[in-house]
Each structure stands twice: as C-alpha cells, then as structure tokens.
Structure 1
Amino acid sequence: MARGGGWHVVVLLLLCSAFPAVKSDGSDHKYKVGDPVPLYANKVGPFHNPSETYRYFDLPFCSTGELKDKSEALGEVLNGDRLVSAPYKLDFLVDRESEVICKKKLSKKDVAEFRRAVAKDYYFQMYYDDLPIWGFLGKVDKEGKGDPSEYKYYLFKHLHFEIFYNKDRVIEINARTDPNALVDLTEDKEVDVEFMYSAKWKESHVPFEKRMEKYSKSSSLPRHLEIHWFSIINSCVTVLLLTGFLATILMRVLKNDFVKYAHDEEAADDQEETGWKYIHGDVFRFPKYKSLFAACLGSGTQLFTLATFIFLLALVGVFYPYNRGALFTALVVIYALTSGIAGYTGASFYCQLEGTNWVRNLLLTGALFCGPLFLTFCFLNTVAIAYHATAALPFGTIVVIFLIWALVTSPLLVLGGIAGKNSKAEFQAPVRTTKYPREIPPLPWYRATLPQMAMAGFLPFSAIYIELYYIFASVWGHRIYTIYSILFIVFIILLIVTAFITVALTYFQLAAEDHEWWWRSFLCGGSTGLFIYGYCLYYYYARSDMSGFMQTSFFFGYMACICYAFFLMLGAVGFRASLFFVRHIYRSIKCE
C-alpha cells in the first residue's frame, strides 16, 4: 500500500464498496484552458517481461522539483503500479514547442544503466488524466555484421505528445519519440543531455464516455473475433460429441442395466449380480482421508463461487481496459467474503461423512489454498525485493492483506464452519452400506488413477486451449482482453465437459466393480488444471519471449497457484456431478 494509505482501503474493503475507476486530481475530469492535468510516471521494464518492472526514476532520468507519490488502491499496488509525478507539464489546451525539462550530464554509470535498459528493450508507462501512455526508452542499431559488440545504442531525448480533447475533456493521448533526437550510449563516457518534450492539442468528436474503447478494439478485430468464434465452435463440437457419446452408449447401457435389474425377484435370485449393482453395498462407503476430502470440496466450491462473481463483474463492464487494479481488488475482496462458503461446505460435508474433529477440518479448509499461495507469495516477493522491482509489495500492503485475512476471511470461515456443523444434514444414500468392504477385482492398467486422469483432463482442455493463448497473452503480455462474454461461454462449456466426462468415467469405474470412486471423481474432474500447467510450459518456451530468473519464477509460481485453483474448482464440479449421477442410478433400482 502507498505510504499511510492502508486504513482507508481496509475500510473500503470491509464495507464492500464498488470497484471504482481510479480518479485523478481533477476528479470530474473537466478542465479549463491552462488548468494542470495530472500526469504520473508509472514504471519501466523489459517489454517481454511484464512482471519485471521498476520505478520510473530508478533510471537516472532528471526530475523537476520534489517527486510526489500518488496514493494508490490495493489493486493498483498488487498490479505493480507505483505512480509518481512526471516532469512534463501538459496543461489543458496549451501547445508546447521543444520545451527543455532539464539539462543533465550523464555519468559513465548513468550511461551504462541506460544502455542496459535500451538493450533489454525497456518501455515506460505513464498516465495522463487516467489515460495510459506507452513508449520505448531508446533503440538498438543492429546494422552491420550482426556482431553484438558492434551494435549502437541510442536513448530518445525528445518526446512529443499529441493530445485530443472534446470541449473540456481529455479524450486521447499519444506519445512518440523524435527519431532524430538521439543520445549515443554506445561508449562508456560522460554525455551531456537535454531532455525535451513538445505537446500538440487537437479537437476530437469522440464522447468522453467512449474514450477507453480504443484500447479494446484490438480484441474486437474481425480476425481475432473469427478465432474466438472458432474456439467456441470447437468447444461446442466437443460438448456435442461428448453428450452424443453419453446419450447413445452410456444411456443405452444404463437402460439395459435397469431392464435386467427390474426382472422379478425369483429370476434375480437365480442369477449372480454383476456390474455396478453388485457393489451397491460399498458404493456409498465414505472415502479415506475424509477430512481432506471435505476440505478440498469446500475450497473448490468457494473458488467456483469466486469465478462466478468475477465473471458477473466482467460482464457488467467493471474490468474495462486500464481500470487499474480492479481485477486484483475484486479477487481479494470476493475471496475474503466467500470464505464462509468454504467453511460451511467443508464442515457440513465433513459432518455428513460422520467426521468428529470439525475444528481440524475447518483449519485444513482455510489453509488448503491459502497455504500454498502464501508460501509462493513469500518466495516471489523475496525475489522481487532482491530485484528492487515494483512487484515487491510494500510493508503497508502486506499489513492490509493480513488485516483482511484476520478480520474478514478467518471470521467468515469460522462462522461458515459453525453453521455447517450445526446444519445437521445427513448424507443421502439411497442404499445401505455393508459392514465390510468388498475386494476390488484386478483391473487393467488403463483403469488406474493416472490414466483415467489423463483421459478426463484432455477433453475439457481441448475445449478451451484456443482461448488460453489470448488469456495468457493478456495476463503475461500486453494484449488487452475485453471479450468476456465469449470467455464466459467457454467457461460454461468447460464446466459441462468436465461434469460429463467425470460422470462417464465414474460409470465405467463402477461397472468394473471398483467402488472407490469418491477421490477418483475429484481427481479426474480437477485434472484439467494439470493440463493447463502443461500448457504453461509450452507457452513460456514456444510462444513468448520471457526470460530471466524473476520472470520465470513469477510465471511458473503464480501459474501453479492458478492451476491449483482450477484443480480444486473443477474437482468439486466433477465430484458433485458424479455424486448426483451415482445417487440417481442406485435410486432407480431395487437393492436388497
């Protein structure tokens, strides 16, 4: 959190206020001629490493006067934003011609720093009246024989701003560098530099309410829309094939089973029961490690609720382009407020499984996802501190997150657990469970857990993998993703395919007289998360230009947490679907 700004954010979060857009000093965004318009420098960093960003003035730029940090919301800090007053003076409707910011003698150390930044393709980001500005610090001249030792490195020293306005509002801003105003950084020697800028105002007829639309147009280009719709068609075909498979094979087999099991009792007595009816006395035998199982189900249900709320906010337009930190704020707040769902679901199901130590189960539920996330954060935050990157959270922000966990997440988890324990719901089993379990017959290798998980995860993953590239390019790149309606459709398809494939595999497992389906259904449902993590390896090494220890650790560390969340969420979906199916088929037959 920015200095001293922690408590008001806590109050806002506890009151569960909406997720407002970041306001500039001109809170109504209306200006008169000559009024100062807020301009903040945000960060710099290698273009291909989105997590590796640094404060703007970590590089030896010259500044005019005292630097003023802008107070930032929790989500902005989590996003790595560190806004500080920029040296440019862009007053409303005031043109400027080659204004000098300052004259500075770059030492050999300064030259080396800038050269390293230019070599790594550093970009800068600023915000002018909450509108983003991007640009590169310099360029590398690779003309010659291709030998890196012969490259020439240049720093841009003149920045030209082109600003569009509509009446008293700023509509758009573009920044471009003067290709002729360069500083040669190739040699380690002192250099005198005049940092300059110019500004030109132009009238625009775009209304203020639509000024952010230009940033989302890239997602809506016909070529990209065509690929998105191809992704949906691919997913729908997968769903149709799977449902067709279930309708023509699984339901036909079930119908034959019902007909066979519906014969009169005398005929049934003369026959030895085989198939899934044969294990009716074991199919509802509670699973091993039922405390862990109930905790997984509780955490998965909470994460499913979290995903649902995030999609609802996205569909109503909360996460419009460059609404800085809104997504991170929403994730923190909604996760805290839905912890009661995890506590209730975990404790309630644990008591249904005749568990006795519900307090331990509640602690396990609370730590199942937060524990690995906390350990990952500690490691990655240490890496960011070592790199002096903006991804390192200030102490105040860590305190705010701890207070949210201590004052909101934990109490709601406990209250949900108490409500679940006192719900006194009984497990609904349509058949009685025998005292001693039957022995599971030897099964072929492809009916083991890992091959079944591979089969269960492949189909749901194949339904979403085309869309995954655009999501990754947005989260771990500079693309802007705005077509949340298509993403929501893909998410629904993912849930449907996961539920159907898990039900199908559960039936085949029961038909093979393997009654230990509880954990299997959860693992098969969640196995898509493992496929997504496998895609992370492919994306990092084949589709991106990310490099360096910090970026690698951030990518694989946080993606491991995200894929683990998918594992828990889809595992809960797969188990719930299988439980509904198993109850239905055993309720439909007469079991002695």
Structure 2
Amino acid sequence: MPPDCRITTILLCWTTLFSALYDAFYIPGYSIQSYKDDESIPLLVNKVYSDNTQLQFAYFELPFVCPPTGNKQSGSPFGSGHSVPLNLGEVLRGDRIMTSDFEINMNQDIECRYLCDQSVTRKDVRRAQQLIEDGYVTEWILDNLPGATSFVTVDRSRKYYAAGFKLGEKELDLDSGKMRYVLNNHFTMVIRWRKAPGKEGTRGAKVVVGFEVYTKSIGGSHRNETGCPEVSGDHEKFQLYIAPNNTELAAKYPDSSYLPEDDMDVHDGATLTIPYTYSVYFREEATVEWSNRWDLYFTDQSESTVTHWLAILNSLIISGILGAIVIVILSRTSQGDLRGRGDSYLEEAKFRTRTRRSGDRKSPKGGLLEKITETEVDEDLSSDDEALDDVTGWKLLHGDVFRIPPHAGIFAPLIGSGMQLLFMVTGLLLLSCLGVLNPSFRGGFVSVGFGLFIFAGGFSGYFSARVYKTFGGQNWRKNMLMTALLFPGLLFSLVFILNLFVWAQASSTALPFGTLMGLASLWLLIQVPLVYLGSWYGYVKTEAWQHPTRTNATPRQIPAQSWHTRSLQVVLLAGLVPFAVLFIELMFVFKSVWQDKSGYYYVFGFLSVVSIILIITVSEVTIIATYIQLCSENHHWWWQSFFVGAGSALWVFAYCVWYYATRLHIQGFISSILFFSYSFLACVVYALLTGTVGFLTAYAFVRRLYSATKVD
C-alpha cells in the first residue's frame, strides 16, 4: 500500500472513532429534548430479546410484524424503515434501531388507529410460536426511553418499570384443555410528560418522563370499517393457529398450526392475517423530574443499598485481616530477619565486591597483580551458601531470587496487556461514577471501553518493554509484536468464531462484516502503532529495573515443597480470598448482564469501592503467598505471583458454571456456547488484570525484602 494511502486510512479510522464517541456523548441535564403541542415524536423500533437465550433479532426482520412502508412522518426527513446511526457499543449489544410508521404527536391522544394487516404462512406462525415459547420481549424507543411494562409493588406504595413488553402469551385454552399461543397485536402507549425546565417551559414546551406500553391480544372479528376493534372490555384473543387443510391431517395433528414437512408442504398457500392497531394517551406526571426519569427502571435501588453496604463491610473485614498479616511480615523482615543478615557473610560480600570493582591491585605479599572477574565472584558467592548452615528460609535465595523466569518472552507481553486492561477499567469506573456513562448513553460503556483499550496500547507497549529489558531481552520488536497481537488476537479470533455461529441463526447479535473489518482496522492501524511507540520508549529511552542482589551462575536446588506451597494449591487457596471480597457484588453484575438483560447496572459507586478493595486484597494475598514461597526456599516466584493474583478468576468461572446450572434458563446449544465463551473471555480479562497487579506487588515486595543485602 502506498504511504499516502496508509496515512489516509489511519486518519479515517481516528476520525471514525472520535465521531462515534462524540455523537453518543450524553450528560444528564444538558441534553434535554423538549416538544411543543402537536409536535411529532418519533417512535423507533429496535429488537426482540429474551432472558432465556443469547440470540436477539431485529424487529423489522420478524415475518409476522408490520413491515415499514417507507412513508415519512411529519417533521422527519426519513421514511419508516430508515436505520438510525449506531455507536460501536450499540452494534455490539445487538441493537438495530429503525424508524417506524407509528404517528405520535405531543399531547394528542389516539383512541385507536389501524396500522396494518400482515399475512403470514404456517412457517411464520411457527416462528412466532417459538419466540413466544422462549419468552421474547420487544424493545421500542421513544425520546431515548425504552418502552416499559409498568408494575407496582405488593403494598402499592411504589411503581417500577421493566424494559420491553411481551410478544405474546402461551396459555391454557379452557375449552379444549390444551395449550395455545396468542399474539399481542394491539399496543396502548401511555406517554407521561411534564413541563420543560427553564425558558422552554414558559413557552409551553414539554418533556417526556415516561414511556409505558400495554399490550393486548384482540381477535380479528368485531372490527369497524377502519380496522379498529372496541379496545375497552373483554375480547376474544388472537390465536396463532392455521387449521389443517386436510381432514386426514386434521385428525392426525389436531390443534397444530405447523405440520411436519414429511406429511404436508409448509408452502401450501395457507395463510393467517394478523391485524395490528395501537392507541396513544398522554398523561401529565409532575412528580418525576426529567433528570430522574430512569429511576423507575432501577427496580431494586432502595432494597439493594443495604446489601451493597454489607458487601463493602465484608470486603473491608477480609482486607483488614490480610493487611494485619502483611504488616507483621514487613515488620518481621525489616526488624528481625534483616538484623540477622548483618553477619560476617554480608561483610565478606561487601569486601569481595569492592575487590572486584577496584580491578587490579597488588597482593599483600607483593606478588603479581590479582584480578577477580565477576564470574569468579558469583561462583564464590554461590559456594558461600555451604557455610551458611545457620541461615534458613528466604535469606538463602539472595543469589537466585531475581533469576530470569522460564518463558519470559510470554510473561512480558502478558504484563503489558494487564496494564492496558487496568487503564481501561480505571477509566470506565471513573467515567461511570461521574455520570458520563449512564443508561441513556446506550452502548456508551462498551464504546468508551473499546476506545480506552485502543489508546492504552501505549501503556501496554511501555510496561511490556520495561519488563522485557529487565529480563535482558535483545529483540524488543519481537516483544512488541507479541504484546500487540497476543491478547487482542485471542479476543478478535474468539469473537469472529462466535460470530459465525450467530450469523447462521440470522440474529442481530451477529456483528456485520463491515463492523468486524472496522474493529480489525482500529486494532492494526491504531493500537499496533501505539504499542510500537510505547515499546520503543520503554526499551530505548528508559533503563531496565535494577535488582538489589546479583544472580548466581548456578541455580540453587529447590527442596521438596509441602502440599500447601505447591503451585496449584496456592493459586486455588489464595484465589478464594479475593473471590470472597467480590462475591456479593458479583451477584448484582450477573443478574444485570445475564438474568435480566432488560435491566441496567447502575451502582458503579459501590462497584468502584469494591474494586479498590479487591485490588488491595489481591496485593495482600500475593505478598503473603510470595513470602511463604520464599521461606520454603522456592525462588520461582515470578509466574507464581502472577497466577496467585489471577487465581480468583478460576473461582469466578466456577461461579459462572454454577450460575448457568441453577439460576439461568438458557435454551439451545448456540446460546450455551455464547454464554460460556463470553464468560471465559471475561475471566481471561479479569485474570490478566489481577495477575498483573499481583506480579507488580510481589516484585515491589521482593525488591524491598532483599534491598538490605545490596552491597555498595
């Protein structure tokens, strides 16, 4: 590719990313949309989704709903069926937002209006029945509010919303005693408004503070000349059923709308006409402020506050106990153990080092000049261990504790990716606590998170290069490529493979091919150059981390380890403690993400506090585990500290398996694959982040521990 083309492509990617973030930016109180009487309010249709499956479908792609006519509403430059521009987060969450044919004008009630008659085949009826069986609900959007089903508490003291409304119901037919499917084909929309704040309100403008949708199933009979039924009162429900067109088949498959292809052709021409109508009512709601209109969607806000505080208290207790143990360790090593190191051995080590640095000098007997090389000093130092029979524990590892770990070429890129994720998560939590990332910023959490991840490539390259240089690496460009391609490559490959499964289901959860290419361009054309710049600066412009002790030429033999100091046992036991800190808050996150997809996780203040305590706990656990390992005369602490920090990810994944088996009702092989794949990916991200924190803490602790043996 010519240089000019490459520069143009990179600039285009940067412009696209910035424009996506800018268009989706939203601050509560400063993006108020007000409407005057009779002004058109566009209603957007999005998708259908279910808590029982991970597959979502665009609303207009369903064969049994009214297709868009393309007609323009008053005040709108686009006709129905026009796709609304989406940010990256909306695309990744499966949104497919389009304009609709619903005519809604501020403060104009509509008792009933005909929408369309949709003709469906047996196959379409079967599709509708399957979606109703799986509990799918519909998402519409008006003034950036999702259409909600309204509920009240048992004591009727408060009302709350559940986003979305059901496609239909599966119920018992009292006449036949068999189950039947009924479709909701009439929509009653209640739009709650109040006077707009400021000067707009004095001019008669109004703002929307609530959008409720009440569905009803009404049969095709008893309709007037406009196609509208009598909305009030009881009606015969609209049943999704096409009678068999053959007497023999009717006897073989009674009450069946979809007959097997072996017995009849599903394209036999039999159809069912579904009439759709809607009503609109505007109601003033003076008790709800525009800035608080999302509060009704937070169903457990008041009830869960006490639980969140209990989670924080539980975390503080665990972290406090571990902190006391760490203080005891630091006090012992600085006052007791280090005092024992000031013996003749240390004095001899200082003498040998001064001799090596002085170069050639005359012997006391006046003989030839004696030159002591660094290799000879190291061999002498290693041989001195035999004379230290009275010294035990971590003090014996002074010459091996900073030995380069095995597979160091992979270790450095993992630390770099962990720092990249740490920067991303910190930025997301900070912006969420400030209110920038809120439920009305649809897809904002994912969009901003991806942007932070891309821009944090510089941090990734810098820290990876520093660790790589500390290990004595020479080919920093190879390390840079490993850092830029290892974790992002795993992430992109997994998403691409999962996308193939979802594509086969024609689900809106599948990413369009253009989006995949855009993500790959952002990765290769923006992140990789940033990783290169960070690696260049970290390797060329900065010095390697200097260790306080020298490394012996011959590795020290590691004695047999007790069962509780072996790698797997340490990782599992140490990982259980951070998981106990995270467990209660994890329940709320899982409920919002998996069990109630229509809900919104909003308590980022509590999550931030728990996250800080979690990081502190991981650091404390890693210090304790590293100290125990060094006291067992095991100097392989590099990878061990990383795995100890990441150990709670194993428990989180085990919790995912338990949650799937006991709390979720996910149906279908594809949905199960998506659940476990995304859970695995989330645990990998969590492991990289906490593992990096564990390593950096252990490295700082080991440097402090052995700094007293540093010779001048």
Aligned to 1:56: 59
CA distance in 2 between counterparts of 1:432 and 1:236 reads: 39
Deviation at 1:10, TM superposition (A): 5.2
Q: Which residue of 2 aligns with 1:122?
A: 136
Q: Percent identity of the aligned residues?
A: 31
Matches for 1:37-56 after TM superposition, within 5 Å = 37-49=41-53, 51-56=54-59
**Aligned with 1:184: secondary structure?**
coil
Which residue matches 1:230? 310
Does 2:677 match 1:557?
A: yes
Residue type of the alignment partner of 1:232:
I
Q: 1:170-189: per-residue Cα shift (whole Å, max 9, x none)?
A: 22110011364531125427
Q: Distance in 1 between matches of 2:470 and 2:665?
A: 50
Match for residue 96 of structure 1? 110
Q: Superposition pairs for residues 165-204 of structure 1, below 5 Å?
A: 165-167=193-195, 168-178=206-216, 180=234, 182-186=237-241, 187-188=256-257, 190-204=271-285
- In the alignment, the residues of structure 2 paired with residue 455 and residue 591 of structure 1 have an alpha-carbon distance, to the nearest angstrom, of 37
Q: Could you tell me whether the CA contact under 8 Å between 2:413 and 2:464 is conserved in 1?
A: yes
**1:539–1:19 distance in 2 versus 1, CA, 3 Å:** farther
Equivalent position to 2:179, from 151, 173, 183: 151
Q: In structure 2, the residue corresponding to 1:287 is in which secondary structure? A: coil
* Aligned: 1:586 with 2:706: yes
Report the counterpart of residue 422 of structure 2 in structure 1: 304
| Residue in structure 1 matched with residue 250 of structure 2 by the alignment | none
The whole-number CA distance in structure 1 between the counterparts of 2:456 and 2:20 is 12
Q: 1:75 aligns with which of 89, 113, 119?
A: 89
Identify the match of residue 449 of structure 1 among 553, 564, 567.
567
Q: Is the 8 A contact 2:623 2:697 kept in 1?
A: yes
- 1:496 and 1:110 map into 2 onto residues whose CA distance is 56
TM-score, normalised to structure 1, is 0.92
* C-alpha spacing 1:366/1:265, structure 2 compared with 1 (3 Å): closer
For normalisation by structure 2, the TM-score amounts to 0.77
Q: Which amino acid aligns with 1:161?
A: M
- For residues 174 and 550 of structure 2, what CA distance do their matches in structure 1 show? 82
Q: Distance in 1 between matches of 2:13 and 2:465?
A: 31
Q: Provide the C-alpha distance between the structure 1 equivalents of 2:211 and 2:276, rounded to a whole number of angstroms.
A: 20
CA distance in 2, matches of 1:39, 1:349: 54
For residues 446 and 701 of structure 2, what CA distance do their matches in structure 1 show? 37
Aligned to 1:240: 320
Q: Give me the whole-angstrom Cα distance separating, in 2, the residues matched to 1:255 and 1:550.
A: 59
Moved more, 135-144 or 385-394: 135-144
Separation in 1 of the partners of 2:125 and 2:548? 77
Contact 1:19/1:318, CA 8 A, preserved across alignment: no
Query: How far apart are 1:214 and its partner, in Å?
Result: 2.5
Cα deviation, 1:432-467, whole Å, max 9, x if unaligned, reads: 111111111111232211111111211001110111
From the CA coordinates, give the structure whose radius of gyration is larger.
2
1:492 partner amino acid: I
Equivalence map 1:23-422=2 (5 Å):
29-49=33-53, 51-59=54-62, 60-66=64-70, 67-133=81-147, 134-142=164-172, 150-167=178-195, 168-178=206-216, 180=234, 182-186=237-241, 187-188=256-257, 190-205=271-286, 206-216=288-298, 218-221=299-302, 223-248=303-328, 251-252=331-332, 255-263=335-343, 272-422=390-540
Matched letter for residue 30 of structure 1: S
CA RMSD of aligned residues (A): 2.6
Alignment length (residue pairs) = 579
Work out the CA distance in 2 between the residues paired with 1:10 and 1:103: 46
Shift of 1:86: 2.2
Amino acid at match of 1:397: T
Match of 2:582, SS state, is: helix
8 Å Cα contact 1:70/1:84 also seen in 2:
yes
User: Alignment partner for residue 646 of structure 2, among 526, 551, 569?
Assistant: 526
Secondary structure of 2:24's counterpart equals coil
Query: CA 1:104/1:278 → structure 2, altered by over 3 Å: closer, same or farther?
Result: closer
Which protein has greater RCO, CA pairs closer than 8 Å, 6+ apart?
1
Distance 1:266 1:551, change over 3 A: closer
**What amino acid is aligned across from residue 209 of structure 1 in structure 2?**
S
Q: Is the 8 A contact 2:60 2:68 kept in 1?
A: no
For structure 1, the 5+ residue unaligned runs are: 1-5
**Residue-by-residue CA offset, 1:286-329 (whole Å, 9 max, x unaligned):** 11121111111111111111111111111111221242110111
8 Å CA contact retained: 1:460, 1:528: yes
CA distance in 2, matches of 1:266, 1:33: 88
Contact 1:107-1:190 at 8 Å conserved across structures: yes
The answer to whether the Cα contact below 8 Å between 1:348 and 1:423 also exists between their aligned partners in 2 is no
Give the Cα–Cα distance (whole angstroms) in 2 for the partners of residues 165 and 121 of structure 1.
Answer: 31
Q: For 1:37 and 1:517, locate their aligned partners in 2 and report how far apart those are by CA, in whole Å.
A: 63
Residue equivalent to 2:367 = none
Question: Cα gap change, 1:15/1:169 in structure 2, threshold over 3 Å: closer, same or farther?
Answer: closer
SS in 2 for 1:183: coil
Partner of 1:503: 623
Q: Give the superposition deviation at 1:588.
A: 2.6
Quick one: structure 1 residues 364 and 446, their matched pair in 2 at CA, closer, same or farther if it must change by over 3 Å? Answer: same
Question: Tell me, what secondary structure is at the counterpart of 1:239?
Answer: helix
1: CA distance, partners of 2:304 / 2:405: 46
Code of the residue aligned with 1:567 in structure 2: it is A
